[in-house]
Chain A
Amino acid sequence: MTTTAWGRSIRAALYKNWRLSITYPTWLLQRLLSPLVWVAIAVYAYTGVADPARIAEAFAEAAGTTGFTGFLILGQTLFSFFLGMNWRGGMAIQRERWYGTLEIVMLAPTSRVAFILGESVYGLLDSGWTVLLAMVIAMFAFDARFTVAHPEAALLAVLLALLAMVALGVFFSGFYLLTRSAGPLSSAVQAPIRFLAGVQFPVSALPTQIQYASFAIPVTYGIAAVRRVFLAGGDIAAVSGELLALALSTVVFFAIGAYLIGRMEKEAKRRGTLHVY
């Protein structure tokens, strides 16, 4: 398959998803408001049980920052990108099942990975502006302050975090291909990843054994890198460990995902369950 063919597949996915987005605008509202509401839940979960001085002191101790609202906003922003990728890339095959168009997609002489990448790229564009807008609104609503002393580090951290999430979307799509319960599964992975990646608290507050599971998830590194750069003014050297982990996990999850998609498709066809949901 040529690069041009991949490009055409991606372009087709972008166009299809754009048409669907403008057909069902309710989803746009959902993408914009959900991150804001989750940030509010996280903020009030702290302010409802402890006074601001105690929270600042606890965060300074556990996370090295007193700006806990900024900490929570950045966690939710990165997690919202993950949700976008899980839904767009991860659920790409399942959506075609629901629409009744999976056979047409499977019969098209194109790479399955290119098809899923197209869905993921649309997810990045589509959730990108809504999530960032939500982040800005949350910043003003909860009086959060960010300090970017090294823009190149910020750019690299965000870019690598997003790439890792695209790879994670491809990885999950392989799993979802074989099951008739992709919908509940894709919802079920959200809560553990929200918990383990430290969206609402520093990962260091978790018991050590649980932290091992946290560091197996790329989202954790993405959130940690972005927080260090945006809250503590970290440079590339300060986040080099996280950046390396993000780059490695992108390669690993993309490779495993691409392999799984091919393998699971063959298995689903052999079992006759490709269209069962």
Chain B
Amino acid sequence: MSIETYARTFRGTYVLNLKSQFRFYTWAGWLVAELIGPFMLFASAWVIARIVAGGGTPPRFLEATGYPDYLAFVLLGLAFNGLAQTALEGGGNAVYEEESAGTWDLVALTPMNRFVWMFSKTLAGLTAMLLDTAIVVAVGAMFVSLVLTPSSVLVALAGLVLTLFALQGFGFLMAAAGLIWKQPFALAILLAPIVILLSGMMFPISALPGWAQVVSMAFPLTHGIEVARGALLLGLGFAELAGPFTMLALTGAAHMAVGYTAFRIMERRALASGKLGRY
């Protein structure tokens, strides 16, 4: 298969699915429905800070993390919530949508690279979700103080782009699970709070039990959030954040390798058992 064929598969799938994602935004309530979750969690963090520290940054939090602003810490964590949910839902739905639309057989028969197809389909969902991320940060920035210098924004954006690719591994894993267990929504809804819990979106991961901290470090999202916090809360540059960047790239690559392998195995199993197309 030539590079040109890969590029055509990528372009066709990406553009089609990006359009498909943005069609939801034609209903004004869609954006509100998507954003209300992170904002309410942010408001919950504000209430928690009111209860334990009279509204300021709790001393124990400052001591444990070194970040000066607890609410800004939570805001930047929650900005990644939509991306994580999209990776979880998008991967499973990539196959489920085709199955329920009756087009999976056609997709499966098309002589294209399945990795490129899945990658571009989930990337389209993640790209659309960047709008939500931008809104969460922009609105939240009115209430908290962020370091918004050109260099810190550049570092944060680099981390965000790398996180987009790293999250693809989740998508492949979900697609693999959806091929066998069907109803990928159930799995996505189940995993959504687990991702919030383990990636340290709302609290420092040092609060988790030891074993959970190890699992947390294996999530690319944890490192993506750390990069954003380091850049936009402490003004750190690429050199200071080399560790989280490296971990983000490594865990992302590992997730993608495991996810794609699982996807191909499950696809073969589904073909052998006649389950492909059943949903």
Contacts and interface: CB of A to CB of B under 8 A. Distances in A.
Contacts of B50: 205
A54 B242 CA distance: 36
Contact of A50 (B30, B40, B53, B194): B53
A34 B189 contact: yes
A40 interface: yes
A251 interface: no
Q: Interface on chain A toward B: helix, strand, loop, or mixed SS?
A: helix
Interface in A32-61: 33-34, 37-38, 40-41, 44-51, 54-55, 58-59
A192 interface: yes
Interface stretch (B111-119, B202-210, B218-226): B202-210
A263 B71 CA distance: 44
Contacts of A40: 197
Contact of A37 (B39, B183, B194): B194
B7 interface: no
Which of B27, B37, B50, B193 lies at the interface centre, i.e. has the most chain A CB atoms within 10 A of its CB? Answer: B193
Interface string A173-202: 000000001001101101110110000111
Interface stretch (B41-49, B123-131, B244-252): B41-49
A190 B37 CA distance: 8
Interface string A100-140: 00000000000000000000000000000000000000000
Interface stretch (A22-30, A89-97, A153-161): A22-30
A47 B58 CA distance: 11
B189 A30 contact: yes
Contacts of A48: 61, 64, 202-204, 206-207
Contacts of A195: 40, 43-44
A38 B202 CA distance: 12
B51 interface: yes
Q: Which of A29, A45, A51 has the most CB of B within 10 A?
A: A45
A141 B70 CA distance: 27
A191 B53 CA distance: 24
B34 A55 contact: no
B193 A41 contact: yes
Interface of B: 27, 29-30, 32-34, 36-37, 39-41, 43-45, 47-53, 58, 60-61, 64, 70, 181-183, 186-187, 189-190, 193-194, 196-197, 202-204, 206-208
Interface of A: 24, 26-27, 29-30, 33-34, 37-38, 40-41, 44-51, 54-55, 58-59, 62, 181, 184-185, 187-188, 190-192, 194-195, 200-202, 205-206
